Amino acid sequence: MREAAEIIGVPQSTLRYWEKEFPEINPRRSTANQRYYSPQDLEILQIIHFLLHIKGMKVDAAKEQVKHNKKNISRKLEVLEKLNEMKGDLEILLQSLNLREQKISFKN
Protein backbone atom coordinates (compact mmCIF):
# COMPACT_ATOMS: atom_id res chain seq x y z
CA MET A 1 0.00 0.00 0.00
CA ARG A 2 2.84 2.36 0.80
CA GLU A 3 4.29 1.96 -2.70
CA ALA A 4 0.91 2.53 -4.34
CA ALA A 5 0.41 5.69 -2.28
CA GLU A 6 3.85 6.95 -3.37
CA ILE A 7 3.13 6.18 -7.04
CA ILE A 8 -0.20 8.00 -6.95
CA GLY A 9 1.12 10.80 -4.73
CA VAL A 10 -1.41 10.58 -1.91
CA PRO A 11 -1.30 9.40 1.73
CA GLN A 12 -2.16 5.79 2.51
CA SER A 13 -5.24 6.96 4.39
CA THR A 14 -6.53 8.46 1.13
CA LEU A 15 -6.19 5.09 -0.60
CA ARG A 16 -8.15 3.43 2.20
CA TYR A 17 -10.88 6.07 1.85
CA TRP A 18 -11.01 5.63 -1.93
CA GLU A 19 -11.34 1.85 -1.50
CA LYS A 20 -14.49 2.46 0.54
CA GLU A 21 -15.93 4.97 -1.94
CA PHE A 22 -15.01 3.31 -5.24
CA PRO A 23 -16.00 -0.37 -5.55
CA GLU A 24 -13.79 -0.63 -8.68
CA ILE A 25 -10.72 -0.66 -6.42
CA ASN A 26 -10.26 -4.17 -5.14
CA PRO A 27 -6.72 -4.91 -3.98
CA ARG A 28 -5.73 -8.47 -3.24
CA ARG A 29 -4.89 -9.10 0.41
CA SER A 30 -2.20 -11.30 1.87
CA THR A 31 -2.71 -13.61 4.83
CA ALA A 32 -1.25 -10.77 6.95
CA ASN A 33 -3.99 -8.51 5.50
CA GLN A 34 -1.54 -6.42 3.44
CA ARG A 35 -2.98 -4.85 0.31
CA TYR A 36 -1.52 -5.66 -3.10
CA TYR A 37 -2.69 -3.43 -5.92
CA SER A 38 -2.85 -4.83 -9.45
CA PRO A 39 -1.92 -2.72 -12.49
CA GLN A 40 -5.66 -2.27 -13.09
CA ASP A 41 -6.12 -1.02 -9.53
CA LEU A 42 -3.26 1.46 -10.02
CA GLU A 43 -4.82 2.70 -13.25
CA ILE A 44 -8.14 3.29 -11.50
CA LEU A 45 -6.34 5.05 -8.63
CA GLN A 46 -4.59 7.33 -11.13
CA ILE A 47 -7.92 8.10 -12.77
CA ILE A 48 -9.49 8.91 -9.39
CA HIS A 49 -6.53 11.12 -8.48
CA PHE A 50 -6.86 12.92 -11.83
CA LEU A 51 -10.59 13.49 -11.37
CA LEU A 52 -10.42 14.63 -7.75
CA HIS A 53 -7.13 16.51 -7.60
CA ILE A 54 -6.50 17.74 -11.14
CA LYS A 55 -10.04 18.26 -12.43
CA GLY A 56 -11.36 19.25 -8.99
CA MET A 57 -14.44 17.01 -9.08
CA LYS A 58 -16.44 16.06 -6.03
CA VAL A 59 -16.33 12.39 -4.98
CA ASP A 60 -19.87 11.65 -6.22
CA ALA A 61 -19.13 13.10 -9.66
CA ALA A 62 -15.86 11.16 -9.84
CA LYS A 63 -17.72 7.96 -8.93
CA GLU A 64 -20.05 8.47 -11.87
CA GLN A 65 -17.18 9.14 -14.23
CA VAL A 66 -15.25 6.05 -13.11
CA LYS A 67 -18.38 3.93 -13.38
CA HIS A 68 -19.57 5.13 -16.80
CA ASN A 69 -16.65 6.79 -18.56
CA LYS A 70 -13.45 5.09 -17.36
CA LYS A 71 -12.09 4.30 -20.85
CA ASN A 72 -12.39 7.90 -22.06
CA ILE A 73 -10.80 9.25 -18.87
CA SER A 74 -7.97 6.75 -19.20
CA ARG A 75 -7.22 8.04 -22.72
CA LYS A 76 -7.28 11.65 -21.50
CA LEU A 77 -4.92 10.74 -18.68
CA GLU A 78 -2.50 9.10 -21.14
CA VAL A 79 -2.53 12.21 -23.33
CA LEU A 80 -1.94 14.42 -20.29
CA GLU A 81 1.03 12.29 -19.20
CA LYS A 82 2.55 12.48 -22.70
CA LEU A 83 2.05 16.25 -22.77
CA ASN A 84 3.76 16.57 -19.38
CA GLU A 85 6.70 14.52 -20.70
CA MET A 86 6.92 16.78 -23.75
CA LYS A 87 6.75 19.84 -21.52
CA GLY A 88 9.69 18.53 -19.49
CA ASP A 89 11.68 17.86 -22.65
CA LEU A 90 10.91 21.35 -23.95
CA GLU A 91 11.94 22.94 -20.66
CA ILE A 92 15.28 21.12 -20.83
CA LEU A 93 15.75 22.27 -24.42
CA LEU A 94 14.94 25.86 -23.44
CA GLN A 95 17.46 25.75 -20.61
CA SER A 96 20.11 24.44 -23.00
CA LEU A 97 19.37 27.21 -25.48
CA ASN A 98 19.52 29.85 -22.75
CA LEU A 99 22.91 28.52 -21.57
CA ARG A 100 24.22 28.53 -25.12
CA GLU A 101 23.01 32.11 -25.61
CA GLN A 102 24.74 33.16 -22.39
CA LYS A 103 28.01 31.56 -23.51
CA ILE A 104 27.81 33.31 -26.89
CA SER A 105 27.06 36.66 -25.22
CA PHE A 106 29.94 36.18 -22.81
CA LYS A 107 32.42 35.57 -25.67
CA ASN A 108 31.42 38.75 -27.51
Q: What is the DSSP string of 21-46?
A: H-TT---EE-TT--EE--HHHHHHHH
Residue 16 confidence (pLDDT): 93
pLDDT tens, 18-62? 999 999 898 998 889 889 998 888 888 988 998 899 889 999 999
Q: Which amino acid is at 26?
A: N
- Its pTM stands at 0.66
- Could you say which DSSP state residue 9 is in? T
